[in-house]
Every structure is written in structure tokens, then in C-alpha cells.
Amino acid sequence: MKNLFPALGLAAASLLILTACAGPPEEPVVALWQQIKSANADLRCDDNSQCHSIGVGAKACGGPENYLAWSSKHSDGAQLKALVAQHAAACRDDDQRKGMMSTCSVVSDPGASCRAGVCVLNQQQ
């Protein structure tokens, strides 16, 4: 039973981060998020030049909710950027419809780098 609680906590945190919108996600937001995950499934890289970060979701008062690392080695950056823009618009629509507010804090772009052959976000300091 002890091992169940960390797993539940991780699952809950992942759901919150992956929806990248305030409040419960609506169907278009979830569908677009699944498309983003699919388009960004291959994070393999040879060096830092292939790793990039992209803002996802939308805060109620503007700006991205979070960032994702992505690799240009095997991914179509234009397709990913288009999906992210559609997802952010859907998030903004949801926030507006629900009357959501946010702290208006700025989420800084951490950038991304190639570590052990995989693109990852750089750690914030």
C-alpha cells in the first residue's frame, strides 16, 4: 500500500501538467494534447542543436502554462508549433468560458538540451 501513494501523486501531477490549462480540460483541449504528445513522441538527439523548447497551454492572463522539450532530429517543428498554437487557443477559450483567472506570473522558457541522447528541458535555477 505504501508504494501506491507516490504513484497516485505522480499520476495526479502528470494529469495536471499534461492538460496545460486551468480547470478541468474540455474535449478539444484533451484531443489536441494527445496530438501534441504524438507529434512529440521522438525526443532522440545527437547534440544540443537538435533540442528546443516550446511553450504549451495558456495562462488566463497570457503566456504559456508550461514548456515542453522537443527534438528537430525526427520531429516536424512546423506541425508541432501549429498544434501547440491550436491547443493554446482552446485553453484560452476554456479559461474565458469558465471565467478562470491566474496569478499572471511569468513562466520562463528553460530551454532544452541533449542529455543521454534525449532532449530534456534545462533545470530552472
Q: What is the pLDDT of residue 66?
A: 94
pLDDT in tens, the chain (125 residues): 444 433 333 333 334 444 445 555 568 899 999 999 999 999 999 999 999 999 999 988 888 999 999 999 989 999 999 999 999 999 999 888 888 877 788 889 999 999 999 999 999 76
Q: What is the pLDDT of residue 2?
A: 44
What distance separates the 2 farthest-apart alpha carbons in the chain? Answer: 45
Provide the residue ranges of all domains of the chain, joining segments of one domain with +.
Answer: 4-121
User: Model-level pTM?
Assistant: 0.75
d(CA 61, CA 41): 29
Q: What is the pLDDT of residue 97?
A: 87
Contact yes or no for 18/91 (Cβ under 8 A): no
Q: What is the pLDDT of residue 106?
A: 86
